[in-house]
Chain A
Amino acid sequence: MSDASLPAAALPRGRLARQDGAAARIVLIALALGFLALFLALPLAIVFIEALARGWQAYLGALADDDALAAIRLTLLVAAIAVPLNVVVGVAGAWAIAKHEFRGKSLLVSLVDLPISVSPVIAGLVYVLLFGAQGYFGRVLASYGVEIIFALPGIVLATLFVTFPFIARELIPHMQALGNAEEETALTLGASGWRTFCMVTLPNIKWSLLYGVLLCNARAMGEFGAVAVVSGKIRGLTTTMPLHVEILYNEYMSVAAFAVASLLALLALVTLAAKSFLEWRYADQIAASRRH
């Protein structure tokens, strides 16, 4: 084979590869879009179609039902307790892991990830084993009349467990990337530790923190498995929105079930929209804080 023949032979093959690439690209894009439409957009649309199957009046009536309102209130309450607690603990944990070196740090990192790898059912069951009437602390708690399982505290505990990693996981890589230089500068200029945190660290991580809070909140309101185990399913008292959806569906009240489900779906959409809006509105700031 001579050297001169090489480019001649390579040229058509290259053109063919480019054509292949275009075809493959179209097929892959169509596949991805089709998949998303079929398995994400369609189910989401069906939630709203089913919810409005008997018109707006039935839809609003289903949401104004006492038990539905109680479920919405409980869900908001649980999220209002769980999310702030996770913010405090998540920021503290991320701060410790990202900015300091200490013994057992890798253990702490793995513990932060633990709730993601553990099935939510297990998360619920361990609290039943700890605080249930037959559990380790059950008799002591019962003698003081403290109810944890099948009441609000149990639901909050289970939600805390499953939502814990969301904020810390969002913060740790960002804080590690930021490094310690700015904090060290603030400290050498005489700022207190708390002042350094409020005026240097917090402004730098606020976008990651906000993402973490959005994700954590979405999961806290949507959690089913762990909460189902500790709820006792008392209608109007210990049923969160996801549990209430299941109860209504099982009672053949599909309009009511999908009406409540549509609120949860709306929450997901609002979360997504808020995240996209923030990314678009503050793109330069986010890029700047990431670059630090």
Chain B
Amino acid sequence: MSEASIRACFHRTLPAVALLASLFAVSGARAQTDLLNVSYDPTRELYREINAAFIAEWNAANPKKIRGIRQSHGGSGSQARAVIDGLNADVVTLALAGDIDAIAGRAGKLPKDWQARLPHNASPYTSTIVFLVRKGNPKGVTDWGDLVKPGVQVITPNPKTSGGARWNYLAAWAWAERAFNRDEARVRDYIAALLRNVPVLDTGARGATTTFAQRGIGDVFLSWENEAHLALAEFGAGRLEIVYPQLSILAEPPVAVIDGNVDAKGTRAEAEAYLRFLYTPKGQAIIARHHYRPREPQHADPKDVAKFPLLTLVTIDEAFSGWGKAQPVHFGDGGTFDQLYKPGR
């Protein structure tokens, strides 16, 4: 290759380089006019609909338009970690308060009393943990006690990374405390036996759903109520069915504006309006349609509300004195989960 041909080659590639540079510029400019909602796994379908409804409403009333709301989904714990490490979220909509506490504590990007800034502990919807089993319930799983029977394979994600899995774990713990009259040794035996029946721990709820429903692994899947309904819709009611245990936990997935990020980006007004939209009648109706339990069911379609059976729901505050206590005791380094989960033994 001569010098001349190298030079010619260089000139030929110049337009391509310029084109690529322009692509870069376009994507850079777009990033500034968007909101970013960093969320947990099962909310993909919910926020797709919420986002479209909110953008339409906001853009009709405000001169400063929102071009789009970007979504990032993953296990609640790992998403919180990403925000702490600098993921530029305007709002977080995670699976549990403990994860937003971690953002407040480690990154200091929002005040510690963030949960008091919106109604209902900053949770516009609640959910609970139910059992998803194969059609006809071949292993006869009806309540928490059945999960430790030999030969029953239980699918649940990893509580270290998944918010849903932490609710699963605490729901099982709360049931056992009642069933064994607060005898802690028996509660721990029960949880250890339950974990021995778990063949694989996925990092997020959605991965676990696919493991159970698509790959056909396991007999019972401890699932968010909304995720169970979604799986039914996706994979057909002919293959799976939902079993409601007698007692479960009231899961309150909270939402928060990340003050440090919205103030830097100048998106505070949009971000706050976005979260408030979740509490409006329109927002509550969409929430119920996606099988989350709305805080104000009177605004939702009665047909959607009828799908939520009544069951005893314990709260994290009454059973575990809040996430501030439950997080380190059960899921911290060396917590009960670390003590009781012994894979491959």
A residues with a Cβ closer than 8 A to B are: 70, 73-74, 76-77, 80-81, 128, 132-135, 138, 142, 145, 147, 149-152, 195, 198-199, 202-203, 206, 232-237, 247, 249-252
Contact = CB atoms under 8 A, between A and B. Distances in A.
A210 to B, nearest CB: 12
A235 B69 CA distance: 10
B72 A198 contact: no
Contacts of A70: 27
B297 interface: no
A237 B45 CA distance: 19
Contacts of A128: 85
Contact of B1 (A150, A152, A203): A203
Given A198-B3, A198-B6, A247 B73 contact: yes
A150 B31 CA distance: 12
Interface of B: 1-3, 6, 16-17, 20, 23-24, 27, 30-31, 34, 36, 38, 41, 44-45, 70-74, 82, 84-88, 106-107, 206-207, 210, 234, 264
Contacts of B23: 73, 77
Contacts of A151: 31
Nearest to B31: A237
A237 to B, nearest CB: 6
A162 B187 CA distance: 47
B24 A152 contact: yes
Contacts of A237: 27, 30-31, 34, 70
A134 B84 contact: yes
A80 B20 contact: yes
A132 B85 CA distance: 5
A126 to B, nearest CB: 12
A251 B86 CA distance: 26
A91 B264 CA distance: 42
A189 to B, nearest CB: 16
A134 B106 contact: yes
Nearest to A148: B86
24 contacts: A73-B23, A77-B20, A80-B16, A80-B17, A81-B20, A133-B86, A145-B264, A147-B88, A149-B86, A150-B86, A150-B87, A151-B31, A152-B24, A198-B1, A198-B2, A199-B1, A199-B3, A203-B1, A206-B1, A235-B72, A237-B30, A250-B73, A250-B210, A251-B45
Nearest to B3: A198
The 6 residue pairs across chains A and B that have the minimum distance between CB atoms: A133-B86, A132-B85, A232-B87, A150-B87, A250-B206, A233-B72
A80 B84 CA distance: 30
A80 B207 CA distance: 32
A138 B36 contact: no
Given A81-B20, A132-B86, 7 more contacts: A70-B27, A132-B85, A149-B86, A150-B88, A198-B6, A232-B38, A233-B73
A235 B44 CA distance: 11
Interface centre among B20, B38, B82, B206, by most chain A C-beta atoms within 10 angstroms, is B82
Contact of B27 (A74, A80, A135): A74
Contact of A135 (B1, B82, B85): B85
B9 to A, nearest CB: 11
A104 to B, nearest CB: 31
A81 B70 CA distance: 25
Interface centre among A128, A132, A142, A237, by most chain B C-beta atoms within 10 angstroms, is A237
Contacts of B24: 77, 152
A250 B3 contact: no
Contacts of B72: 232-235
